[in-house]
């Protein structure tokens, strides 16, 4: 990147320096073909979380309940959580090497391997039937999707869009996860009602296959086969950039945020809402469509508050950006109490709405904070995002722990009381302790890089 670091991305600006091309280094208008690139890249990106979260919208096919269909896997709550963890374990392994994998084999082939993982990971259970072992194998392979796409796809978009439009297009791309969860929550229960869990898996495989064909046919790099990554030193040398206590405080905050957002809400909220009030533990007894709507509202609100969270992080003075993680922590302390109690349906909806707001502020505001903390160079900012990707994948592994508490007979709220509630206090403290530096120091570094 010729020694120049791009700004962290919000809806109004770039997110993290990843790579550059002649387009990013100029003030020219957005090339017409860039819009084609964005569409096919978004579609192929969308397939990865669509596959990852397809299970949570039809939990009765996997968790043993009195209303589970005949053709289901009859797993425990902890076993179901492990299905989500399998995907994240691959993400943990790939969190730091992903940028170097992209540089080695190219962005297009990185996305190809990622999406092929989604397709093969879905086909294996379709061929094996209600075989739990093969279901786990498929989930491990699906992990390639999230682990690689999250690095390669935004880099492709970065290469094709000049600064004046890049931020907006990256911000729109950032809806890939919440929008896919929303689609899963709305569409998959209906598909399952007509064709069982196999219908849902087939839907995702076909979507991913079509998206991959379009991507491979239409995607190309704007100037050369490889992007300019501006990488300083070797892979091992780059780890020296992580001697920064603030990025690890932020990693703890993001780790806890993911525990609550993905490890608990995105994984277990539909099952809680569908569980009968007289069951052990009790729920609200909603049907699949209503429960799916509850989770869809959480993720739909995230589509709005995600860019607002990024904007909040951008407009706050540098030394006050810790307000973002502190806000997410305070909302966590409130929304889980409202959401997982069984006394009041209106209060549950209040919790769902607050969770959607918190998910947007946390998801959209915490990621841009990372390159603000590590802004010395392009690779420093990239490594800061790798830290958050690592924290995200580790946080996703919490699902089996929460599921195990539910299996033991603990209510959903009591399980929150001994897990996410005290963790939210730690999240609040860590957020308060984050000290990115003075505004004057930050601006001095930015001026030297221009």
Q: Where are the domains of the chain?
A: 9-226+235-449
> What pLDDT shows up at residue 362?
85
Residue 316 clears pLDDT 90, i.e. is over it: no
Residues paired with residue 20 on neighbouring β-strands, in sequence order: 228
Q: What's the average model confidence in pLDDT over 47-65?
A: 89
Q: What is the pLDDT of residues 201-222, one digit of tens each?
A: 999 999 999 999 999 999 988 8
Which tops the pLDDT comparison, 38 or 317?
38
> What pLDDT shows up at residue 176?
84
Q: How far apart, in whole angstroms, are the C-alpha atoms of residue 432 and residue 373?
A: 14
Q: Which range has the worst mean pLDDT, 20-24, 220-224, 337-341?
A: 20-24
Which tops the pLDDT comparison, 347 or 32?
347
> What pLDDT shows up at residue 402?
94
**CATH number corresponding to 9-226+235-449:** 1.20.1250.20
Is residue 101 very low, low, confident or very high in pLDDT (cuts 50, 70, 90)? Answer: confident
Count of C-beta atoms within a 10 Å radius of residue 129: 11
> What pLDDT shows up at residue 17?
44
> What pLDDT shows up at residue 1?
33
Mean pLDDT of the chain: 83
Is residue 11 very low, low, confident or very high in pLDDT (cuts 50, 70, 90)? Answer: very low
Q: What's the average model confidence in pLDDT over 294-301?
A: 89
C-alpha Rg value of the chain to the nearest Å: 21
CB of 145 within 8 A of CB of 94? no
Is residue 440 very low, low, confident or very high in pLDDT (cuts 50, 70, 90)? Answer: very low
CB of 318 within 8 A of CB of 442? yes
> What pLDDT shows up at residue 377?
64
Which tops the pLDDT comparison, 316 or 332?
332
Length of the chain: 450
Residue 325 clears pLDDT 70, i.e. is over it: yes
> What pLDDT shows up at residue 311?
78
Is residue 12 very low, low, confident or very high in pLDDT (cuts 50, 70, 90)? Answer: very low
Residue 231 clears pLDDT 80, i.e. is over it: no
> What pLDDT shows up at residue 7?
39
> What pLDDT shows up at residue 3?
34
> What pLDDT shows up at residue 450?
46
Q: Which range has the worst mean pLDDT, 17-31, 131-145, 350-364?
A: 17-31
**What is the percent of the chain with per-residue pLDDT over 70, rounded to a whole number?**
85
Q: What's the average model confidence in pLDDT over 253-257?
A: 95
Q: What is the pLDDT of residues 258-284, one digit of tens each?
A: 999 988 998 899 989 999 999 889 999
Cis peptide before 422 (omega within 30 of 0): no
User: Long-range contacts of range 24-30, CB-CB < 8 Å, 24 or more positions apart?
Assistant: 24/158, 24/159, 24/161, 24/162, 24/163, 24/166, 26/162, 27/162, 27/163, 27/164, 28/162, 29/162, 30/160, 30/161, 30/162, 30/164, 30/165
Which pTM was predicted?
A: 0.78
Residue 5 clears pLDDT 90, i.e. is over it: no
> What pLDDT shows up at residue 225?
56
> Token pair 């540089």 is at which residue?
103
Is residue 113 very low, low, confident or very high in pLDDT (cuts 50, 70, 90)? Answer: very high
């Amino acid at each position: 990147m010729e020694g120049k670091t791009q700004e962290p991305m919000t809806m109004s600006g770039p997110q993290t320096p990843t790579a550059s091309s002649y387009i990013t280094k100029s003030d020219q208008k957005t090339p017409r073909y860039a819009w084609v690139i964005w569409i096919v890249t978004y579609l192929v990106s969308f397939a990865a979380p669509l596959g990852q979260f397809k299970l949570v919208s039809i939990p009765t096919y996997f968790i043993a309940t009195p209303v589970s269909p005949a053709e289901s896997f009859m797993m425990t709550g902890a076993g179901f959580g492990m299905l989500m963890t399998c995907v994240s374990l691959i993400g943990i392994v790939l969190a730091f090497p992903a940028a170097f994998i992209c540089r080695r084999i190219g962005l297009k082939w990185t996305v190809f391997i990622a999406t092929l993982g989604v397709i093969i990971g879905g086909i294996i259970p379709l061929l094996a039937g209600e075989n739990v072992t093969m279901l786990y194998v498929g989930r491990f392979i699906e992990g390639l999707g999230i682990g690689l796409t999250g690095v390669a796809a935004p880099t492709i978009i970065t290469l094709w869009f000049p600064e004046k439009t890049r931020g907006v297009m990256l911000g729109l791309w950032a809806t890939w996860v919440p929008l896919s969860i929303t689609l899963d929550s709305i569409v998959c229960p209906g598909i399952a009602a007509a064709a069982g869990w196999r219908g849902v898996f087939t839907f995702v495989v076909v979507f991913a296959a079509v998206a991959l064909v379009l991507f491979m046919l239409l995607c190309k790099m704007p100037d050369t086969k490889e992007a300019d990554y501006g990488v300083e030193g070797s892979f091992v040398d780059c780890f020296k950039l992580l001697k920064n206590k603030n990025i690890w405080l932020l990693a703890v905050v993001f780790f806890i945020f993911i525990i609550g957002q993905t490890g608990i809400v995105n994984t277990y909220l539909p099952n809680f809402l569908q569980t009968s009030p007289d069951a052990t533990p009790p729920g609200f007894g909603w049907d699949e469509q209503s429960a799916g709507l509850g989770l869809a509202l959480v993720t739909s609100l995230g589509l709005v508050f995600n860019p607002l969270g990024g904007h909040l992080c951008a407009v706050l003075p540098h030394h006050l950006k810790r307000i973002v993680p502190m806000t997410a922590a305070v909302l966590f302390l409130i929304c889980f109490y409202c959401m997982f109690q069984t006394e009041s349906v209106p209060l549950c909806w209040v919790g769902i709405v607050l969770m959607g707001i918190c998910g947007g502020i946390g998801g959209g505001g915490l990621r841009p904070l990372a390159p603000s903390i590590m802004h010395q160079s392009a690779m420093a900012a990239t490594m800061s995002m790798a830290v958050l990707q690592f924290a995200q994948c580790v946080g996703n592994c919490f699902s089996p722990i929460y599921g195990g508490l539910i299996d033991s007979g603990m209510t959903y709220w009591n399980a929150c009381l001994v897990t996410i509630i005290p963790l939210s206090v730690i999240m609040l403290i860590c957020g308060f302790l984050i000290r990115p530096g003075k505004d004057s120091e930050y601006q001095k570094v930015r001026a030297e890089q221009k």
